Amino acid sequence: HPLVTIDKMSRARCNALIEQVDLETTHPNATPLIVMHLFSAILLLLYRLMPTRKNDHLSDDQRRTFNAFLTLLNTNPRQIREATWFADHLNTTYKTLNKICKLEAGMTAKQLIDSLAVMEIKRNLVIARVSVKRLAFDSGFDDVSNFIKYFKKHTGKTPSQFQKRYS
């Protein structure tokens, strides 16, 4: 669900965490790990507020596959962005993985992979202030121009534009 209704208390808690993120990013000895955990806390608070799904179409096996996909997605190096690689490692087919992802998240496996990769790139651009060239190679791109095209395709901005806007 793209929209979440936030009650007054939850909004206050999220705002307090956002203030902590702001304080940490401006601290002279800022630590990206602290910021990452603060963002995780915000996401967990918001996840709790998400409406329950009335039309849950996943079987227990499909749910296990989806959860295993998310785990693998969060633990694999960001250089791997092919959904077929994930399907192979989950002992399923690309088509089955896509079906499960569409049922559960409303997105294909590739869209979920790209979404997480772009989020990680954004975080590194703004919080860790990594250079575009270094980030391109760290993200598994052989060529900086391909990295820029990939990022612009997903955000509408070049990495440098995004970094300048949020720095």
Written as tens digits, the pLDDT of the chain (167 aa) is 456 678 899 999 999 999 999 999 899 998 888 989 998 999 888 888 876 654 467 888 999 999 999 899 888 766 788 999 999 999 999 999 999 999 888 889 999 999 888 988 998 888 888 889 998 988 889 899 999 999 999 999 999 999 888 76
Q: How many helices (H) and strands (E) does the chain have?
A: 9, 0
Q: How far is CA 128 from CA 35, 44, 140, 164, in A?
A: 10, 22, 18, 13
User: What integer pLDDT is reported at residue 52 of this predicted model?
Assistant: 61
In the chain, what's the furthest Cα-to-Cα distance?
Answer: 49
Rounded to an integer, what is the distance from CA 100 to the centroid of its chain? 18
Q: How far is CA 113 from CA 38, 78, 80, 136, in A?
A: 22, 9, 9, 16
With contact defined as beta carbons under 8 Å apart, do 135 and 101 qualify?
no
